[in-house]
Structure formats: structure tokens, C-alpha cells
Structure 1
Amino acid sequence: MTTLLLGANGQLGRHLRAEIAGMATCARSQADHALDLSDIETASRLLDRIQPEVIVNAAAWTAVDDAEDHEDQAFRLNHDLPAALAEWCRRHEALLVHYSTDYVFSGQPGRPWREDDPVAPESAYGRSKLAGEQAIAASACRALVLRTAWVYSALPGNFVSAILKRAGEGQDLKVVADQTGSPTWAGTLARATKALLGQADQIERPQLMHVTGQGAVSWHQLACLAVQMAAERGIIERAVEVEPIGSDQWPQKARRPAWSVLDGGRFEHFTGKRLPDWDAALAECLEQWSEAQC
């Protein structure tokens, strides 16, 4: 089975490469196929040449605040690209795996969000990702759309690596305590993808699933535990103070969901595999931090 991974050098892409052997890779550089994926016409010609049976699309515009000022560019990667991939997969009976986000939701239902709950994105990023979901659904191709949340790894550019860098420099931290979600190690998401690909023959139409670390925690609670665990493992010299603050004390251009907890029951029912609790996944990531840059 020929599988093509798009966005192969991002934090999710690098975990997918480690977890799933034999994929052809595509990224701006240092991949089997070097390509700027915002050039959708060239990307389509690449697909025609390779003829993949599975496309795993880990490419996305992920700069949430920048999307407020560059919504057209965010839509190019988060809607136009997946729409084109879905149409190609429909015509060639290939399978598309695509990743979406908790940012499609707003409000607090009093329980984890389920796949069929109403969506109401409050940011340009959330709107662009929802548009991508809807384009894939409308295509009727064979597809898995995996919504996830609060993805982190040891690579730069995510919450956990950022706070541990600052803590490692001895800086005390101020972290938002009034937003609650389901932190997801990129390794968890990669393993879940591998499990789903093992049942690819059962996917006959677009299917939407939530894949996250299980449980609910605030950004502040996540930061406290990450700092504590990192100090215990010698990743940082000592634990620093982590002060809770409100969202209004950390102004950002894009509005974030106050409740980002996702229900993983559909994935678990489909695969027969349990998603890990968020704190167990964090511990596993930190155990590998120095050696593997998880």
C-alpha cells in the first residue's frame, strides 16, 4: 500500500514517520518530495505521479493568532488543500487521513464534546479548519477526519516545550487557568493514526473522530505537572513557580475555546483501543525527552 505523508517535518509529521514505516514523505525540504503545499496545482500533479493509495495530511496552517491577519493564507492550507486532496481521493478511490481541531467548538456543554455536537468556531483558524472538514465531508471520499486538541511534543512551537524552555532558564511562569482541555502528545495521535490505518478497508465514506489524551485539565494544571515531572527527570534543574492567571491577563488576537475537552469514545469503539489518559502520555513523552526529542 503506497502511503504519502504531507507535512512530514512538523511535530505530528515527525511522530508519524517514527510510528508508521514505509511512507513516502512530502515537505518543503528534507523529504522524499520537496514541495510548498500551498501550491495546490503542483501538489495535485505530484499525486498523479505517485498514485498513493493513502494520503496522510499532517500539513496545516497552525499559527492561530496570525490567522486573524492572514485568513486567506490559513484557508489555503486548511480548506483549499484538503478539499483538493479529498477530490483526488474520491476520483482514485484512495483514503485520506486529515487532522482537525477543538477550535471548531465554543461554549461549555458540561461534558466532553462529541463528534455530532454543533460547531461554532470563534477564530479565523477555527473557521478555516471547519471549512476543511466540511469540504472533505461534501466530497464523499473515503476519509478519516481526526479532531484533536492541545498537541505537544519536545519539538519547538508548542505549549509544553515552550514552558519547559522558560522553566529551564529559571523563569517563573504565568499560565491561564480558566481554559480547560485534553492535552494530546503527538505520539498518541501518531499511534492512533496507525491503529486506524490498520482498519482502512472499513472506511467507505468520510468519518469524523476525536483523538486526544483523555481527561480534562487547565493550561495551568498542565504546566504545573509538566514542570514537576521535568524537574524529577532532570530535564530542568528545578521546578519554578507557576502562577495561575485569567485569559484576560494574557490577551491574544484569536479567541480560544474555554472548554476543549473531546470525547474519544467513537475512536475507541471503532478500533477497540483505549486512548491514554493525558497525564500518562505526558509522563511517557518526558521519559523520552532527552534521547528521542519526543
Structure 2
Amino acid sequence: MKVLITGSHGQVGHCLVNLLSKRSDIELVAYDRDNLDITDEHHVQTVLADVKPDVIINAAAHTAVDQAETDVELSYAINRDGPLYLAKAATQHSALLLHISTDYVFDGDNDVPYVETDTPNPKGVYGQSKLAGEEAVAANCANYAILRTAWVFGEHGNNFVKTMLRLGKDRPELGIIGDQFGGPTYAGDIAKALVTMMDNFTGSQQSGIYHFSGEPHVSWYQFANAIFDAAGKHDVLESLPAVNEITADQYPLPAPRPANSRLNCEKINETFNIKPSDWQAALKNIKAYC
């Protein structure tokens, strides 16, 4: 089986390459944005015609949430147009397309975890462009799975865990938002989930949207405390900062964030026997994030 990965240098893409490069039954073709510009339809068509993959895993995205508010054209080019071109190419070559999306497609006003059938209502450009990408994939590809996830972190790339460790090293005190809730999700678990879906996808009847994120659900404040607890246990920091709980209103950002980013992951468990990400276990390897 030939598998093409886009965004191979990103958090999830990096983990996918590590996983699939070890499998003798997989012919892996991994591209970063320098090798495959998914916003260029002709380039996508040319590369896909040459590779002829059985599976495409799109791990490429414009994830700079605040920057997206001003870089609207770039955000839509990567998050909407790129998935559209990949979906068309996947259909042309009868390939399965696995596409990563986000909790930001929701407004966060629910008081319970979101299920796949809840109506999206993104507040910012990032979420709006990602929702447009979902719609493009669903409308142009017969065999596809859209994986919505949230609060991604891992040893590779930039993320909240690395930011906390960096700030905790330099500052004696931090204010962390306590009124936004979600499920931290380990990038390696997202990669494993995608591979499991790929291996067990049986046809278009399984096409659709799936939620996958971590449990237990926590606030950013609670997540930060868990990070520093792990850092203390494994002697990552010489001293731990005081962590103070603040509200989102006290830390305004250009792009709005959902107050509720919790995702219900029952569907992916029932369909593919995939359990939520165990983010607490992933923090036991805290030294690798430094």
C-alpha cells in the first residue's frame, strides 16, 4: 500500500512518518510544504499523478490561529483550497483521504462535549477556513474521513506544553486561563488513530466526520498544573512557577477561542475501536519536550 503524507514536518505529520516508516507493508511518500504546495492545484495534480497513492493523509494546515485573522487569504488557501485539491485528486486516483480538522469549527457555547452532528459555528477565521476545508472534502471525495481534534501537543513542533516549560523556566509566576475547557491530545495518539482508521477503513459507508481528543477534559489552568507536576517529578525545571487562574477576558487575543472545546469521542470508538488520547501518560515523557 502506498501512502502519501502532506505536512510531514508538523506535529502530527512527524509522528505519522515515524510510525509508517517502520512498516514493511507501506510504501511511504512524505512531503512537507517545500516539496508539495497543496495550495497549487496543478502541482497537486502532477504529484498525485506521479505517486498514485492508495491513501492520502493530509496533515498540512495553517494553524496560526491569531495570525489567521489578518492572513485570511493564506488561511483559506491552505485550510480550504488545499483539501479541495487533494479531495479531487483522491477521487481521480480512487484513494482514501484522511483529513485533520479542529474543535474551532464550533463556537464553544455548548455545555456538553460536541458530537459530530452538532452544527458548526466557528467564531474566527481559522475555524471558518477549517470548516470550509471539511465541506470541500465531503463534497468532492467518496472515501474520506475527517478527524477533528483539539489542543494538540507533542515532542516535535510548538505547542502549549513546550510553551509552559519555557515560560516556567524564566518566570516565577504565570497566569493561565481557567474558563476554557477541552481535551489535550498527544500528537502521537492522533497519528496512531489515523493509521488505525486507514488500516480498518472498509468503504464509503464509513466516510464522514470523527472526533478524537484527550481525556480527562480540563481547563488550560488544570493542564498547566499537570505539566508542572510532571516537570517537578522528573526534575525538568530547577524550580516550579506559581500558577494563577485567570479568565479569558483577562488575556485578550486577536482570535476568539471556544470556551468549550470538549469533543465526544464515542463514534470513533464504536467504528474503529479507538479510545481517547491518554494525555496524562504522554506527559510522563516530559523530558523529551525540553
| 1:189 equivalent in structure 2 | 190
The alignment partner of 1:190 has SS state of helix
Displacement of 1:271: 1.3
Determine whether 1:10 maps to 2:10. yes
Note the residue ranges of structure 2 that are not aligned, 5 or more in a row.
none
Distance 1:65 1:218 in 2: 20
The alignment partner of 1:113 has SS state of coil
| 1:264-275 → structure 2 map (5 Å cutoff) | 264-275=265-276
Identical pairs, percent = 35
| 1:102 equivalent in structure 2 | 103
**Which deviates further from its counterpart, 2-11 or 212-221?**
212-221
Note the residue ranges of structure 1 that are not aligned, 5 or more in a row.
none
1:290 to 279, 287, 290: 287
Displacement of 1:281: 2.2
Relative distance call for 1:18 and 1:134 in structure 2 (3 A) is same
Q: Which amino acid aligns with 1:242?
A: V
Q: Which amino acid aligns with 1:10?
A: G
Decide whether the 8 Å contact of 1:12 with 1:190 is kept in 2.
Answer: yes
Displacement of 1:239: 2.0
Relative distance call for 1:190 and 1:177 in structure 2 (3 A) is same
The alignment partner of 1:110 has SS state of coil
Distance 2:12 2:250 in 1: 30
The alignment partner of 1:121 has SS state of coil
| 2:279 equivalent in structure 1 | 281
Displacement of 1:203: 4.3
Determine whether 1:54 maps to 2:55. yes
Q: Which amino acid aligns with 2:247?
A: G
Q: Which amino acid aligns with 1:267?
A: I
Displacement of 1:257: 0.5
Distance 1:61 1:157 in 2: 13
Determine whether 1:28 maps to 2:33. yes
Q: Which amino acid aligns with 1:285?
A: A
Decide whether the 8 Å contact of 2:142 with 2:204 is kept in 1.
Answer: no
**Which deviates further from its counterpart, 94-103 or 157-166?**
157-166
Decide whether the 8 Å contact of 2:44 with 2:89 is kept in 1.
Answer: no
**Which deviates further from its counterpart, 83-92 or 154-163?**
154-163
Distance 2:133 2:150 in 1: 16
| 1:1-294 → structure 2 map (5 Å cutoff) | 1-21=1-21, 22=26, 23-29=28-34, 34-204=35-205, 206-276=207-277, 280-282=278-280, 284-291=281-288, 293=289
Give the RMSD, CA atoms, in angstroms: 1.7
Distance 1:124 1:240 in 2: 34
Runs of 4+ in 1 over 6 A off after TM superposition: none
Distance 2:201 2:246 in 1: 44
Decide whether the 8 Å contact of 2:106 with 2:119 is kept in 1.
Answer: yes
Q: Which amino acid aligns with 2:98?
A: V
TM-score (norm 2): 0.93
Displacement of 1:205: 6.1
Displacement of 1:154: 2.6
1:161-201 Cα shifts (integer Å, max 9, x gaps): 10111112344211111111111111111111111111123
1:108-161 Cα shifts (integer Å, max 9, x gaps): 332210000011000000000000001111114210100000101133421111
Distance 1:176 1:281 in 2: 19
Aligned length: 285
**Which deviates further from its counterpart, 221-230 or 198-207?**
198-207
The alignment partner of 2:214 has SS state of coil
Distance 2:41 2:238 in 1: 46
